[in-house]
A and B are shown apart, each in its own frame.
Chain A
């Protein structure tokens, strides 16, 4: 019963998190909200497994945590470099490539 309440609370948190994703105003706000939504989804999947007595949902939660992280990093890399081909190694920092998005002052 308490677990179902926790799941409902988590759903509320996810709905509230979506508000920031909708109103923005910058794309970074939206991605922050999406990343946070993903973390809450991981917790939600794990929790739902316990609520319904099917703990094998945890494997899905692990996979979703991996996907969420890779998606956020890929999105940020794309926004930063406007390309998914730029090198992220420390030998070629953003300042030297001249590919910096928006031109840092």
Chain B
């Protein structure tokens, strides 16, 4: 059971980063608030391997870097369609089957789609239902790369 102390250390570090206080009164308040947070997390049942994927940390950092670049490319496309009055937008709705097997992988993929401007996930029951701003971006190929990257980041390399 490494996840409870891991969460305690993470929450304590977060507290210190935000407050920077070291007087006894504040440290006492810190202990109280950290214990309250841990108790809430335990009550939610989220202190487990799924919620603290330490074994995936390096993959997730790489994935986040790649995703930021993708988000910027998509931002340029959407900004252009807002500013260019003569440009035609053609909204479409497509179904995208996620590659990822785990819930975490599916959530990562759906969130990545929503975070990218120009695509937003409407429904995640079964296949993902995705609303796309430009119909030419609704081909299965345009989601294939992100789908594979998210599945590998969340499920590990097979």
Q: Spell out A's residues near B (CB within 8 Å).
A: 59, 62, 90, 93, 95
Contacts and interface: CB of A to CB of B under 8 A. Distances in A.
Interface of A, helix, strand, loop or mixed by DSSP:
helix
A25 B148 CA distance: 38
Q: Which size class do B's interface residues fall under? A: under 10
A59 B18 CA distance: 8
A77 to B, nearest CB: 16
B125 A62 contact: no
Contacts of A62: 18
Nearest to A63: B18
5 contacts: A59-B18, A62-B18, A90-B103, A93-B125, A95-B125
Across the A-B interface, the 5 shortest Cβ-Cβ residue pairs = A93-B125, A59-B18, A62-B18, A95-B125, A90-B103
Interface in B1-22: 18
A7 B98 CA distance: 41
Contacts of B18: 59, 62
A90 B106 CA distance: 14
A93 B18 CA distance: 37
B54 to A, nearest CB: 23
Interface in B44-82: none
A90 B18 CA distance: 33
B33 to A, nearest CB: 14
Contacts of A93: 125
Nearest to A58: B18
A40 to B, nearest CB: 16
Interface string B117-146: 000000001000000000000000000000
Contacts of A95: 125
B113 to A, nearest CB: 17
Contacts of A59: 18
A68 B18 CA distance: 19
Nearest to B103: A90
Contacts of B125: 93, 95
A76 to B, nearest CB: 13
A93 B124 CA distance: 11
A90 B103 CA distance: 11
A33 to B, nearest CB: 15
A76 B125 CA distance: 18
B26 to A, nearest CB: 14
B51 to A, nearest CB: 14
A87 to B, nearest CB: 13
